[in-house]
């Protein structure tokens, strides 16, 4: 019979921070879809035809990010870093010392 993993009573502030991290990451990914493909102005390009394919890859010229876009990207990244640290360094994790190894979970 397989071993059952333990059920933990995660503190609400840890759960809230994890949820905020997921929501912020999702919002950042949606925002990133609206950005030019390059943060700095870059010329576009067109790739060579590949063997057994008629597809030609290409990118239009990128104007680069506006100051507002760059600021918003920095804001998202700063918030993602803050939330990542809040979740990964939460005091709850220190209460689990040895639990995994004592019970053979990995």
Residues 59-92 have pLDDT tens digits of: 999 999 999 999 999 999 999 999 999 999 999 9
Cα–Cα distances (Å) from 13 to 65, 76, 86, 90, in that order, read: 35, 21, 10, 9
Residue that wins the pLDDT comparison between 77 and 2: 77
Note the pLDDT of residue 54.
87
Instruction: Give me the mean pLDDT over the 50-59 stretch.
Output: 88
What are the tens digits of pLDDT across the range 18-37?
999 999 999 999 999 999 99
Note the pLDDT of residue 2.
61
DSSP character for 62?
B
Residue that wins the pLDDT comparison between 63 and 97: 63
Is 24 exposed, middle or buried, given 0-12, 13-18 or 19+ CB atoms closer than 10 A?
middle
Structure tokens at 55: 């597809």
């Amino acid at each position: 019979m397989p071993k059952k993993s333990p059920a933990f009573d995660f503190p609400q502030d840890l759960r809230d921070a994890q949820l905020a991290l997921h929501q912020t990451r999702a919002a950042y990914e949606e925002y990133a879809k609206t950005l030019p493909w390059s943060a700095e102005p870059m010329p576009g390009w067109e790739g060579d035809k590949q063997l057994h394919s008629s597809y030609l890859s290409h990118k239009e010229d990128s104007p680069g990010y506006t100051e507002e876009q760059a600021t918003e990207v920095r804001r998202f990244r700063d918030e993602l870093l803050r939330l990542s640290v809040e979740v990964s360094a939460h005091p709850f994790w220190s209460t689990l010392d040895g639990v995994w190894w004592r019970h053979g979970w990995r």
